A and B are shown apart, each in its own frame.
Chain A
Amino acid sequence: MTRRGRQPLARRAASVTFHAFCGLIFLFLLLPLIVVVPISFSDSTYLQFPPPRYSLRWYREFLGDPNWLDAAWRSLKIGVTTGVMATALGTLISISLVRGSYPGKSALEQFVMAPIALPSIVYSVAAYKLFSTFQLVGSWQGIALAHTIHALPLVVLVVGSSLRTIDVSTELAAQGLGASWITAVRRITLPQIRPALVSAAFIAFISSFDELVIAMFLGGINVTLPKKMFDSIMYEIDPTIAAVSVLQIALVVIVLLVIGRLGTGVRPTA
């Protein structure tokens, strides 16, 4: 009887330990994001925490510096181009891989996933020669192309798994009623996988917007935002970069909210 009486207590202790452990890890995960915010509003040139006084000084610094704005604009251009190209090409590949049944399909499936496992440092070294032959080194289009390669598998992963969950018969029914294949896909299939398309485009955009190594190798003197941040951390560490960081976190939160509104797979639904 005593054993039975002690069991719930032991269980409760285990439960408290478990939740405390999880809480600590959540703190560990959020800590860097939390400390950046007050530092970005600091009035001091030094990284003091908590800051002696608050101001918008470093945000003004960022918005008033053409070098920072230039880098941000270039990264935005590259990110949007990557998002559009990777989503378009990746969706076509996904339709082909999910619906088709031709010889060599599984080999092609592995091939399209390969860039995920290849470290970007290896890809940068490999691609440099080819890109310089086509005079793409130092151009934003070159970086966008290389980023598209790395974003393709992410798009195929997201769009492909969404395509597998929808019923192909609705598409066939539309065709049976006289719609062309294009119309059936445009009016029946694509609307059903729209949330996946939105999150795929966002994932592709972020993967490019945040990418440093490829942009460093292929960018030449045209620095992207991550490269400018890297240099700034290496050589002139001041709170400007904290302001940039907060703006980036805000951008991600806004886009996540937008995706949430469009109904997405990022939420914890299986």
Chain B
Amino acid sequence: MSTIALPFKARSNEGRQQRFYLLLAAPGFLLLAVLFAFPLFDLMRLSVENGSLSHYHQVLFGEVYVLVFANTVKIAIVVTLLCAVLGYPVAHFLATAPRWWALFGLLCVVLPFWTSLLVRTYAWMILLGNNGIINRLLVGSGLVERPLPLMHNELGVTIGMVHVLLPYFVFPVYAVMARVDRTLLSAAEGLGAPPWQILRRIYLPLTFPGVVAGCTLVFILALGFFITPALLGGGKVMMLALLIEQQVSQMLNWGLASALCMVLVAAILLSYWAMKQSARRGTA
């Protein structure tokens, strides 16, 4: 539709219509500007208090902070890879299983997804503790002599985080898989391609955008995780979000905490940018 062809009156009407649409969104955007954008700018200002970069210097060169940051990234990468390996087959099951089985599978993914994070973390503590269900079963059946350390370490945190984040990987991949043209797969099969080749050369490339989206979502969420490492880590696993909380509520060091926040935001923006890049390359 070209605006030039419209008579003058219709064009001014069009302008009024657009102003009206902008006005509709105004209350929401106003709220976002005051309660979201402004505090973030304020935080940025706080992190460079008195025009000095001392907080950033401390965060980027202090050994403790670098270690915590490296640990956070490491856990986030492991969780993302596990979610991809576990979630890809599940998404395929949801996209291809007969109706009632697919519905059952979807329920298995959706129900925990909607269940309170605290409920799930608490349940994992019951399962993984030294006196927990899994260890009792293992010791009771004589498979191990002493309870395995499943909690209050990185293993426990990883299990809990994968459980929470798996649906975030499954949903976008499932959405892409549901739209894949199945005749392409049958064609490859008819031409004699073994299943492994079909997966590697056709299915994976076709579903790649979903995988990238899912991985990014999981990775970004994992970077800022708080509850699961706080409870399942038992104070022995340090992640960035825990460190920020500690700096604020125990050390009352708001300047350093805000610099840590900025580093976390930068890491998130960087992974988002990397996703955009690889998605563009995937379609090219």
Contact = CB atoms under 8 A, between A and B. Distances in A.
Contacts of A146: 35
Given A29-B163, A245-B122, A22 B28 contact: no
Interface stretch (A55-63, A66-74, A111-119, A190-198): A111-119
B234 to A, nearest CB: 10
Interface in A189-227: 206, 209-210, 212-213, 217, 226
Given A102-B21, A152-B32, A245 B116 contact: yes
Interface in A216-250: 217, 226, 229-230, 233-234, 237, 241-242, 244-245, 248-249
A49 interface: yes
B28 A93 contact: yes
Interface string A73-112: 0000000000000000110110111011110000010011
B25 A92 contact: yes
A174 interface: no
Contacts of B39: 123, 126-127, 129-130
Nearest to B178: A270
A154 B132 CA distance: 36
Interface stretch (B53-61, B89-97, B200-208): B89-97
Interface residues of A, number: 77
A13 B28 CA distance: 55
B265 A122 contact: yes
B118 to A, nearest CB: 4
Nearest to B93: A22
A166 interface: no
Interface string B170-196: 000001001100000000000000010
A175 B111 CA distance: 42
15 contacts: A11-B195, A22-B93, A26-B105, A33-B111, A36-B119, A47-B132, A100-B21, A108-B29, A120-B226, A121-B241, A125-B261, A127-B35, A127-B39, A213-B245, A245-B118
